[in-house]
Amino acid sequence: MMLRSAWTRALLATSLLGLSACAAGPARPAKGGPVDVGTGSLVEARKYLEGRWTLESFDVHPPGKAVITPKVMGTLRYDAFGNLGMEIRADQAASALLQASGIEIQNGVISTTGRTAVDMQNHTLTYIVEGQPESLGPLAARRPRYWQVEGKLLTLTIKDDAGAPASVSRWRKAN
């Protein structure tokens, strides 16, 4: 019995000593790398996108058919957190052309809300939409938007599965 008690005390002392050796010291702030800012940075790209954009032109490239340039009006909004809201309005004739091209349009409106992931290396924007049905057409959110910037003009090109343009939209910065 005495031997058992001695072993228990020795085990307890060893455990306490081990725990005290592992005790955390004062917390030090983690050092991060330099923030990527300036020309060509993610911060600059997000800042550029931020604001309200007005649709200047919209071309749809249906497979095996001539390019369609429907008469539409649109607004695109990005905020500082990458949230987006896009609305394109079309008249009845343009709506019929868009639907014939596989684009889902309801009551003359194409509408998307969600977030934007910016890929600087591939020059793409990917829309992350939640709570909206997954579109399978040429404007599907899962398809990245290849972006090109010329001053206050943003060109977004969506490619089909073969890598050919499915649609090209040009947006002018409104503010």
Task: Give 24-65 pLDDT, tens digit per residue.
Answer: 445 454 554 444 556 667 888 888 889 999 999 999 998 888
Instruction: Give the H or E element holding residue 19.
Output: helix 2-21
Residue 95: the pLDDT is 92
Place of tokens 């307890």: 12
* Range in 3-7, 19-23, 148-152 with the lowest mean pLDDT: 19-23
pLDDT of residue 155: 97
CATH code linked to domain 42-173: 2.40.128
C-alpha distance from residue 104 to each of 9, 71, 90, 136, 173 (Å):
75, 16, 12, 9, 26
pLDDT at 10: 46
pLDDT tens for 91-123 read 999 999 898 888 888 899 998 899 999 998 899
